Amino acid sequence: MIISRTPFRISFFGGGTDYPVWYEANEGAVLSTTIDKYCYLTCRYLPPFFEYKHRIVYSKVELAKDNNTIVHPAVRACLDYMKIQKGIELHHDGDLPARTGLGSSSSFTVGLLHSLYALKGSMITKSQLAKESIHIERDILKEHVGSQDQIAAAFGGFNKISFKKDGGFFVEPIIISKERLLDLEKHIMLYFTGFSRIASEIALQQIKNTPHKTHELRQMYQMVDAALNILSGNHDLKDFGKLLEESWQLKRSLTTKISSVDIDQIYEAALQAGATGGKLLGAGGGGFIIFFVKPEFQEKVRQKFKNMLEVKFQFENSGSQIIFYNET
């Protein structure tokens, strides 16, 4: 039996420049961190005593007679990719809901691929795990996804991830003091808007608009290094929040599907309560939203959003891990 644990992520800056349509012509970069909220997958070979070959448990329970009849696309693709011939029992548990902007779909793919390698008695590097997960989502499943989520989930940590024109990537851990990192963590509030969405549908519109949004995306790309300068220098940390505000205004201009009247109202209410800035996570349209709020103003924000779910979190740096391994 195998149990994998793969983190979700918060992307601060550069989202949108991690799509091939952009970085293959211009290069791209994102600044992101993984958090202590995880996708857990329990996986084992299923004994051949049942009428079905595979038992797959997530929000649904699938009893499939072969790989081709598996409904879950990532499960079907991963089993085929790994050439799994035996029956599989797979259970998914997530700390937070899917389709909410935290990269959960890619965390699932990364975690499943990691689990299947372990089930076959093999180890895989973080880099190869990220590359193969990108290949499965983009080339096999033909999903409209960027490249940051798979890398963040595989590597873990607070990183600048750079994307090269040849399709390669480079992960650069952010070197700042523990005190500075904890201070940043204390300024970030994470809320669930109550709306979920299918990211690939929003991403498709953004991809189509990319040739017409060169100025905005170039600015968003430059903000990655601007944010690093704030974190690593003697700047007031509030400048990080101001930059988030600038980035959000650029992001929401990329397509009309990224924000909505309801989301705009939530965002403005946070600013009025004391937030310096913030952004909707992921492709947009709903899901989780972060606000940069000085600790002395956070209670006021909580009162404003007392009917919304706040999720407390901490940064983490482990990436996808096999936390239980037993051959029998």
pLDDT tens digits, one per residue of 131-159: 999 999 999 999 988 999 999 999 999 99
Q: Of the candidates 132, 160, 155, 129, which has an alpha carbon nearest to the alpha carbon of residue 18? A: 160
Which tokens is 295 given?
Answer: 């600790």
Q: How far is CA 271 from the centre of its chain?
A: 25
Which tens digits make up the pLDDT trace of 169-198?
A: 999 999 999 999 999 999 999 999 887 655
Residue 60 confidence class, pLDDT cut points 50, 70, 90: very high
For residue 91, how many other CB atoms are within 10 A of its CB? 15
Residue 242 confidence class, pLDDT cut points 50, 70, 90: very high
- CATH numbers and ranges of domains, the chain: 2-175+316-325 (3.30.230.10), 178-315 (3.30.70.890)
What element of type H or E holds 44? strand 28-45
For residue 249, how many other CB atoms are within 10 A of its CB? 13
Residues 28/162, Cβ–Cβ less than 8 Å: yes
Ramachandran category for residue 297: left, alpha or beta (phi over 0 → left; psi -120 to 50 → alpha): alpha
Distance separating alpha carbons of residues 81 and 18, to the nearest angstrom: 24
What is the β-pairing status of strands 88-94 and 54-57? parallel
Look at residue 200 in the predicted model and tell me its pLDDT: 58
Which tens digits make up the pLDDT trace of 281-328?
A: 976 677 899 999 999 999 999 999 999 999 999 999 999 999 999 976
Helices (H) then strands (E): counts for the chain? 11, 13
Q: What angle do CA 101, 102, 104 make, to 5 degrees?
A: 105
Which tokens is 251 given?
Answer: 């992001």
Look at residue 134 in the predicted model and tell me its pLDDT: 97
Q: How far is CA 270 from the centre of its chain?
A: 23
Look at residue 296 in the predicted model and tell me its pLDDT: 97
Distance separating alpha carbons of residues 67 and 83, to the nearest angstrom: 10
Helices (H), the chain: 20-26, 73-81, 104-119, 126-134, 148-155, 178-187, 199-209, 214-232, 238-251, 261-273, 298-304
Ramachandran category for residue 262: left, alpha or beta (phi over 0 → left; psi -120 to 50 → alpha): alpha
Tell me if residue 285 falls in helix, strand or coil: coil
